[in-house]
């Protein structure tokens, strides 16, 4: 086995180290499956002089802090990008593609912002871009959509695609703890960054849903198309009421298609306790896919981590190398997309959990009910609990399905009544039959 494919690795952090571990520990199997050897020739790192001991075994690759030295090296055929970032990374990857080098990346931020441009550049230069690890870590969701479900018509993709928020909501529900205390614990355990805003604000999940929606619907969906709501306002009371009504709270990414029109959003969502996603806890991820022919399928596993993510990156690397050896690199991109049509609020149907703080006076319920009726939102369940030490009650409503426009109009009208002191929360409910 004389042929050697040389790799340039951009990034020597958690994922980069995982990539090296997988290649070092599974070298014989990888070589056998590919029919050639792979060699990491150069690694981008901030401190080339001191970081050679981060892998299982010392690496023989050249360590450098110059990304362009790697992407311009004529002996390197494939670039593996695990350094993160957007603007600088985009320029480096573009340079690699212009130099006819295929790319494997785990960078969902980059793809959510610049994916279409980079895919087109890859196509122009006869290169591949593979990106399985950008969504769901070790879960092969991208490969499943591109290959396993290729012949089917996907109508809905929904999932838990951020481990940090899933850990926080799991702990809040199980322990009755506050958001602030669980976030601090998650940071101490390394599940949340010092600045967790991208995770808890829903942006990380939104970037991943833009990628999944683009792929699943064959439409050019960007981050700007994704409606985003995070978990920072969720309270222990919200979770308790949810559980009392038979629901679990999760941060759910949802991409839905009806009659060619789509919605893509990320928001705290109530799931019936019997729904498979309701039982995905801790830092795990899961994606649930609805399609016409197959029906419902679910993909579950660790959403992050050095070795799980590293394994997903190496699997992509192996596919890229196969394409190079078969001389089909850059020949798989389908550049034509279906026209993108976003649902209007009047075309979007949702079921909601709404919690109000209402004055505890005669006729209060009648007035609240009449507001819902005025905007054609019917009620499925009502729960009313006195607030100790006040003359107010917690008034919880589970609606039937209604248009998003009707729901928003109802909430706005409730704000303007004298009987409603405060709208505590409003969460969509997904996973029940209409």
Which tens digits make up the pLDDT trace of 265-302?
Answer: 999 999 999 999 999 999 999 999 999 999 999 999 98
Rounded-to-integer distance, Cα 364 and Cα 370, Å: 10
| Start-end of H helices in 43-99 | 67-71, 87-98
**The two three-digit tokens of residue 346, written as one number:** 């009047």
CA-to-CA dists, residue 413 to 39, 344, 369, angstroms: 64, 20, 12
Between CA 91 and CA 97 the distance in angstroms is: 10
pLDDT in tens, 213-230: 999 999 999 999 999 999
Per-residue pLDDT tens over the stretch 378-422: 999 999 889 888 899 999 999 999 999 999 999 999 999 999 999
Query: According to the model, what pLDDT value does residue 53 have?
Result: 60
Which phi and psi angles does 81 have, rounded to 5°?
A: -105, 110
Which pair of tokens denotes residue 336?
Answer: 């034509």
Average pLDDT, the chain: 93
List, in sequence order, every residue forming a beta bridge with 350; answer none if it has no partner. Answer: 402
Distance of CA 66 to the CA centre of its chain: 31
Average pLDDT over residues 161-186: 94
Buried b (16+ CB within 10 A) or exposed e, 356-395: bebbeeeebeebbeebbeebebeeeeeeeeeeeeeebbbb
336-357 average pLDDT score: 93
* pLDDT given at position 312: 93
User: Mean pLDDT, to the nearest integer, of 133-149?
Assistant: 91
Give the pLDDT of residue 389.
84
For the annotated catalytic residues, the residue numbers are 208
**Torsion angle in degrees (nearest 10) through CA of 49, 54, 56, 59:** -30
Q: What pLDDT is recorded for position 334?
A: 58
Cα 136 from chain centroid (whole Å)? 7
Highest mean pLDDT among 178-182, 250-254, 418-422: 250-254
Question: The pTM is what?
Answer: 0.91
Please provide the size of the chain in residues: 434
Of the CA atoms within 13 Å of residue 174, those in its CB half-sphere come to 12
Q: What is the pLDDT of residue 333?
A: 61
- What's the pLDDT score for residue 324? 94
pLDDT of 74 over the 80 cut: yes
- Return the axis-axis angle of helices 163-175 and 236-244, rounded to nearest 10°: 70
The structural domains of the chain, ordered by start, are 4-137+306-325 (3.40.50.720), 141-302 (3.30.360.10), 349-429 (3.30.70.260)
Q: Residues near 260 by Cβ (< 8 Å), separated by ≥ 6? A: 338, 341
Cβ pair 80, 317 in contact under 8 A:
yes
Give the pLDDT score at 375: 97
Query: Which residues, in sequence order, are CB contacts of 363 under 8 Å at separation 6+?
Result: none
- Of 245-254, 328-337, 380-389, which gets the smallest average pLDDT? 328-337
């Amino acid at each position: 086995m004389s042929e050697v494919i040389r790799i340039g690795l951009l990034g020597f952090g958690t994922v980069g180290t995982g990539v090296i571990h997988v290649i070092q520990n599974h070298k014989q199997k990888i070589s056998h499956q590919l029919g050639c050897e792979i060699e990491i020739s150069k690694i981008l790192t901030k401190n080339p002089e001191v970081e050679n001991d981060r892998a299982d075994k010392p690496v023989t690759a050249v360590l450098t802090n110059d990304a362009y030295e790697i992407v311009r090296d004529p002996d390197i055929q494939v670039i593996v990008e695990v350094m993160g970032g957007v603007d600088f990374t985009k320029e480096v990857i573009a340079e690699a593609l212009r130099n006819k080098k295929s790319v494997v990346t785990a960078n969902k931020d980059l793809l959510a912002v610049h994916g279409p441009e980079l895919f087109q550049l890859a196509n122009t230069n006869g290169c591949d871009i593979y990106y399985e690890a950008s969504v769901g870590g070790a879960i092969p969701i991208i490969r499943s959509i591109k290959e396993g479900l290729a012949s089917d018509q996907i109508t809905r993709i929904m999932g838990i695609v951020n481990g940090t928020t899933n850990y926080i909501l799991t702990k809040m529900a199980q322990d009755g703890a506050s958001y602030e205390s669980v976030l601090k614990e998650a940071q101490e355990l390394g599940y949340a960054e010092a600045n967790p805003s991208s995770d808890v604000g829903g942006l990380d999940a939104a970037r991943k849903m833009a990628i999944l929606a683009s792929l699943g619907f064959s439409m050019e969906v960007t981050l700007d198309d994704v409606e985003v709501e995070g978990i920072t306002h969720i309270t222990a009371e919200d979770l308790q009421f949810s559980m009392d009504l038979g629901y679990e709270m999760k941060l759910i990414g949802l991409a839905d298609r009806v009659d060619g029109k789509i919605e893509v959003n990320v928001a705290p969502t109530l799931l019936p306790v019997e729904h498979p996603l309701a039982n995905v806890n801790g830092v795990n991820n899961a994606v649930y896919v609805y399609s016409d022919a197959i029906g419902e399928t679910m993909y579950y596993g660790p959403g992050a981590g050095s070795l799980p993510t590293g394994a997903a990156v190496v699997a992509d690397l192996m596919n890229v190398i196969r394409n190079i050896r078969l001389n089909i690199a850059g020949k798989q991109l389908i550049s034509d997309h279906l026209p993108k049509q976003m649902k209007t609020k009047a075309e979007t149907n949702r079921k909601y959990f709404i919690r109000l703080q209402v004055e505890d006076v005669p006729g209060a319920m009648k007035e609240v009910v009449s507001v819902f009726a005025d905007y054609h939102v019917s009620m499925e369940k009502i729960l009313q609990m006195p607030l100790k030490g006040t003359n107010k009650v917690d008034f919880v409503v589970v609606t039937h399905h209604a248009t998003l426009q009707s729901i928003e109009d109802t909430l706005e009208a409730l704000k303007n009544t004298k009987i409603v002191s405060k709208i505590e929360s409003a969460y969509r409910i997904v996973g029940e039959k209409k």
